[in-house]
Amino acid sequence: MRGYDAFSQTLKDLKLLPVFGNPGTTELSALRHVEDYVLTLFDGISVGMADGFSQFYGSPSIVNLHSVPGLGNSMSFIYTAKMNRTPLIITAGQQDQRHLLMEPLLSGNLLSFVGENVKFKYELTKAEEIPSAIRKAKMIATTPPTGPVFLSIPMNLMDEEINYEKQDDISINYNTNNKEVLDYVSEIINSAKNPSIVFGWEVDFFNAFKEAEELAEKLGCAVYSEPLSHRAPFLSSSKYFAGDLMPGSTLINLKLLQNDVIIFLGGDITLYPYLPSPILKGKKVIFLGMNIQPKFGEFYNVNVKIFMRELKDKIKRKCNFAKPLDLGMTTKIANERSNMGINYVFSKIKKEFSSYTVVDEAVSSSYILRNFMGYSHNTYFTAKSGQLGWALPAGAGIAMKHNKTLAILGDGALMYSVQTLWTLKRYKIPLKIIVLKNGGYVILKSYASSYYPDMENKAFLNFDLDIEKISSSFGIESMVAGNDMDELKWLAEGEEPKLLVVNVDRSVPKLFL
């Protein structure tokens, strides 16, 4: 069997199709018999699509990049996959080994280039390694903490003859628990004066919402979500859910001021910007999870789904918290109607798209989006890295098989990966897109207003785009929402990708201390 056949057969055997990519000459040989290939018109988009696909469907996926330029174009997406803990197998073609010494066009040190952004990186040396290297890559990517891996494949290996050995698919079992840790943590909670739980993205990863809710119910205390969680961390409809922690140390400390013990389940702390308050000083902080790497406190490796199920039976009720109803929101929404304020806009989106999976890149409105759209299993995704340009391709990856997917992004964010619109059209992917048009980088303006007020009105923070025209040039139907936002119904209808522009209030919210 030739190398290219070994490559395509291994992908079939290891259930790694489709391949997301943007090939060049160095990859063509590998793709000779690949049957399921999703083309993107910018390399990074293929990584973003694979990231969304992999997270939503809970299985690793494969990406095919074009040598040094393709890898370079994809670095921010690979970094995001690392932060998202997404199991991706990223491949790139290397130049023909027989003249590497001559430093030919498109050659380079790909392993050095990908750097520390992957868990494992390897450049194949002979064609026989093709099946086993891909299998090893998949195994490492899916072993906790999960994450992207990288294979550099010299193009000449694909034409070599090998003896193909079928690869058995890997089997990963996350069902581990630790009784000692269970006893220890339950004892800490039971002897605490005022404990609190902070839930993280692994609740979604393991679909442990029922266990998390039952644990919160038993404890009776206010629970929170980790700051900037990239997946749904808890059922936001629960009366115990007191909201998302903000990513500033001072804000976290103030929120948890009264708590002596804080248990993080399947999540971690993300901070931005720097604030001088030492994080949770003098408190007992325990992190539990499988894919997290905390920076302080204590950490124990557990499967949070199993752990929570058993912890619930070992702890005593400590509080009688119930989230107060936010009746003032009705007034806020009514007040914001005339100027398309963000609360009004999301109240309308929520009505039409409540059953959708939301992919969020509305950076300056993200905290309001989360609040309105709510959390439950597989309903919320965003980039953990802070990257712009991720949501559109990730949404496309999810929408490939899930026809109720909505990407909500800012006008700035749209432009980072706008070529995704072509892929949506080409493959008839039914992603619905809402672009919140505010004419600039509002998150930067908000940051400026807190720290450098003279910069808030800088011309380079503003831009004006004709998004309807951009969308139609890719063949994607689009409309601009009026004040009643009736166009949301149009957006939800049909199985074709569509884009709705919403001209939102341009005032700058206070997002930083």
Partner 1 sequence: MRYITVLPEFIPMEEVKATVSQILPEMEIVNDLSLDKYEAEVLVATTFTKLSRKELEKFPNLKYIQIASTGYDNVDISYVKEKGIALCNIPIANKQSVAEHVIAFSLVFLKDMMFLNQEMKSGNWPMLTGSRDLEGKAFGIVGMGMIGIQLAKRLLPFNVTILYYDIRRMKEEDEAKYGLNYMELDDLIKNADIISIHLPLTDKTRGMFGEREFSMMKDGAIFINTARGEIVDIDALLKAIKTKGIKAGLDVFPEEPPDFNSEIFKMDNVIVSPHIAGVTLESQQRFLTETISNVLRYAQGLDPLYRVL
Nearer to partner 1, 274 or 460 (CB): 274
**Interaction between residue 278 and partner 1 (CB under 8 A):** yes
**Among residues 257, 325, 327, 459, the one that binds partner 1 under rule CB under 8 A:** 257
CB of 256 to partner 1, least distance (A): 8
How far is 22 from 135, CA to CA, in rounded Å?
A: 22
Q: Residue 190, interface with partner 1 (CB under 8 A)?
A: no
For residue 493, how many C-alpha atoms fall within 13 Å in the half-sphere facing its CB?
7
Considering only residues 193, 276, 328, 355, which one is a binding residue for partner 1 as defined by CB under 8 A?
276
Nearest partner of 146 among 63, 228, 270, 61, judged by Cα? 61
Of 237-245, 269-277, 428-436, 463-471, the segment contacting partner 1 by CB under 8 A is 269-277
Residue 296 contacts partner 1 per CB under 8 A: no
Residue 324 interacts with partner 1 (CB under 8 A): yes or no: no
Contact region for partner 1 (CB under 8 A) — 208-216, 272-280, 432-440, 489-497?
272-280
Q: Which residue has 């998150």 as its token pair?
A: 443
- Phi and psi angles of residue 56, each rounded to the nearest 5 degrees, phi first: -70, -45
Q: Binder to partner 1 among 28, 83, 275, 479 (CB under 8 A)?
A: 275
277 binds partner 1, rule: CB under 8 A: yes
- Part of the chain binding partner 1 (CB under 8 A), chosen from 103-111, 252-260, 375-383, 393-401: 252-260
Residue 392's H or E segment, with its range, is: helix 391-399
The reply to whether 462 sits near partner 1 by the rule CB under 8 A is no
Minimum separation from the CB atom of position 462 to partner 1 (A): 15
Torsional class of 301: left (φ above 0), alpha (ψ -120 to 50), beta (otherwise)? beta
> Can residue 483 be called a binding residue for partner 1 (CB under 8 A)?
no
Rg, the chain, Cα only: 24
Residues across the chain? 513
Tokens (6 digits) for 381: 């995704």
The residue among 279 and 406 lying less far from partner 1, judged by its C-beta, is 279
Q: Is the Cβ–Cβ distance between 52 and 23 less than 8 Å?
A: no
When binding is defined by CB under 8 A, the residue of 112, 163, 166, 274 that contacts partner 1 is 274
Under 8 Å CB-to-CB from 348, ≥6 apart: which residues? 485, 488
Say how many residues touch partner 1, by CB under 8 A: 16
Return the structure tokens found at 163.
């003896």
Query: Shortest gap between Cβ of 254 and partner 1 (angstroms)?
Result: 7
Segment lying near partner 1 (by CB under 8 A), choices 125-133, 233-241, 273-281, 458-466: 273-281
Q: Give Cα separations from 322 to 19, 252, 287, 362, 428 (angstroms).
A: 47, 20, 25, 29, 45
Nearer to partner 1, 9 or 253 (CB): 253
The answer to whether residue 328 forms part of the interface with partner 1 (CB under 8 A) is no
Give min distance, CB of 240 to partner 1, in A: 23
Applying CB under 8 A, which of residues 272, 296, 451, 463 lies at the interface with partner 1?
451
**Biggest distance spanned by C-alpha atoms of the chain:** 72
Element housing 139 (H / E): helix 129-142
| Distance between CA atoms of residues 205 and 367, nearest Å | 21
Distance separating the N- and C-terminal Cα atoms of the chain: 63
For residue 250, state whether it binds partner 1 (rule: CB under 8 A): yes
Starting at the edge strand found earlier in the chain, the sheet holding 19-21 runs: 37-39, 19-21, 61-65, 88-94, 149-154, 121-123
If one asks whether residue 253 binds partner 1 (CB under 8 A), the answer comes out as: yes
By CB under 8 A, residue 254 contacts partner 1: yes
Among 453, 464, 469, 484, binds partner 1 (CB under 8 A): 453
Per DSSP, the residues of 299-363 read EEE--HHHHHHHHGGG--------PPP-THHHHHHHHHTTTT-HHHHHHHHHHHHTTSEEEEE-G
Output 26 or 503, the one with its CB closest to partner 1.
503
Query: Candidates 13-21, 203-211, 277-285, 440-448 — which segment interacts with partner 1 by CB under 8 A?
Result: 277-285
Specify the residue, 257 or 325, whose C-beta has the smaller distance to partner 1. Answer: 257
- Provide the minimum distance between the beta carbon of 448 and partner 1 in the complex, in angstroms, as a whole number: 11
Q: Which of 354, 450, 457, 483 binds partner 1 (CB under 8 A)?
A: 450
Interface contacts to partner 1, rule CB under 8 A: 250, 253-254, 257, 274-278, 281-282, 450-453, 513
